[in-house]
Structure 1
């Protein structure tokens, strides 16, 4: 059971104890009745953790000589065992409230429930800055709409200390419903605009009402200096240079191509010159042959080196010595 669950259960125990006492039950009898209703962790704590002397101390607690205090002692013992210092729990609730946010309005129900469960643990939960924090945790644009509506209903500046969380919650719901209706209206208008355009047809043009078109939808007529229409000419500004040239041929003068039926020649800056490829081939062949000879000589050196290393082996040296003696 969580700490919050323990505190909620203690609140239920307090209400039940008040009802039992009103019926004339003594404090000790009320405590025994509450203990009999324990389940789960609380039952395990009472049966296994509490010693017989602890139970007697709780059930026999007295505020003074004539007034029993068993219920309060039981509640205090449960808090000390499961929660610890309630003040630390309250401080932690303040930190959680300061870092609690509602990512989207789909999470608002969860956000409100968590916020209210934490704020009720604080003695200063009614202060205005906590109510302002509740609104500030909503999505930014939506929180601005809520603040604007609060100013409309309650004036500017917003009197947070006198507002209740219920009033703020109702304004949030009202704002959310208004935003949803606005979205529905926009979608409806978007759908109806197409239908209305089909229904009206060219009625407006027939009776002298000119249609309004955006500037970029009007086709502009383009012409050259001879006043010839050039809208259909494929060679227009923005065509890639190489795409414009293809197909082209290479001549002694330069690159030649046809554009709109006209032959265009892009002349070379320097005249073309021929190179002797045979000289280059002979030079490359000689280099390759020299490299082959070098590789062959290296292979032979490697073989000789391996033979020398093998001859240095101990067994071979012994055989050579024996052979010399013979």
Structure 2
């Protein structure tokens, strides 16, 4: 599996058999989110190799360096680490039989999602705060030249998809209003 975003930022690949190093020292919020996406990709490759969610989370935490390692080893208590690694989620499954429907609860490991959320919450802050800031950024985002269109489209879509109401027409109108006038008229 390969992760490429910008040729100047990151080219990484994960096969699930090598050891990766996870470090967020000196990274901005956006870069930390990208690093978390890379962690998610690495977790996916571990799961493809038939590791459990708990095993994947444990492997990721053993690969922490710098601030992440200090956060995991020193900041979190033993109980907090156990809660993250042993986290589960309950998913209701509806089964239809001849007599009617029955609901059974299935317990699934959720350690990796809990780990990534904990990192994001601790180092970036509450997700709602990030969402509110994204709305503010969307209000001021514009595409001054057509040369910047790809960047504008990518940045706009990333910020819009964070919003709870991202399917409203307002955002389409906003994206068009941020384009150069002659180009916006053709759309």
- Give TM-score scaled by structure 2 length: 0.63
Residue 110 (1) aligns with residue 151 (2) = yes
Cα separation, 2, equivalents of 1:63 and 1:109: 38
Q: Residues 263-304 of structure 1, C-alpha deviation per residue, up to 9 Å, x if partnerless?
A: xxxxxxxxxxxxxxxxxxxxxxxxxxxxxxxxxxxxxxxxxx
Q: CA distance change for structure 1 residues 51 and 131 in 2, over 3 Å: closer, same or farther?
A: same
Look up the match of 2:182: 141
Look up the match of 1:89: 130
Q: CA distance change for structure 1 residues 103 and 63 in 2, over 3 Å: closer, same or farther?
A: closer
Matches within 5 A, 1:272-283: none
Cα separation, 2, equivalents of 1:95 and 1:4: 15
Q: Secondary structure at the match of 2:144?
A: coil
Compute the displacement of 1:128 (Å).
2.6
Cα separation, 2, equivalents of 1:23 and 1:118: 33
Residue 3 (1) aligns with residue 3 (2) = no
Cα separation, 2, equivalents of 1:17 and 1:103: 39
Look up the match of 1:171: none
Q: Residues 50-87 of structure 1, C-alpha deviation per residue, up to 9 Å, x if partnerless?
A: 33443233223344796433223212211220222212
Cα separation, 1, equivalents of 2:123 and 2:81: 17
Cα separation, 2, equivalents of 1:131 and 1:25: 42
Matches within 5 A, 1:238-253: none
Question: How many residues are matched?
Answer: 146
Residue 42 (1) aligns with residue 83 (2) = no
Cα separation, 2, equivalents of 1:102 and 1:69: 40
Q: Secondary structure at the match of 1:120?
A: helix
- Give TM-score scaled by structure 1 length: 0.39
Which of the numbers 53, 57, 78 marks the counterpart of 1:27? 53
- Point out the structure with max Rg over C-alpha: 1
Look up the match of 2:43: 17
Q: Which runs of 5 or more structure 1 residues have no equivalent in the other structure?
A: 148-326
Structure with the larger strand share? 2
Look up the match of 2:113: 72
Structure with the larger helix share? 1
Cα separation, 1, equivalents of 2:156 and 2:80: 37
Look up the match of 1:151: none
Runs in 1 of length 4+ with deviation above 6 angstroms?
none
Compute the displacement of 1:29 (Å).
1.2
CA-based RMSD of the aligned residues comes to 2.7
Q: Which has the higher contact order (CA 8 A, sep 6+)?
A: 2
Matches within 5 A, 1:220-259: none
Compute the displacement of 1:30 (Å).
0.9
Q: Which runs of 5 or more structure 2 residues have no equivalent in the other structure?
A: 1-26, 91-105
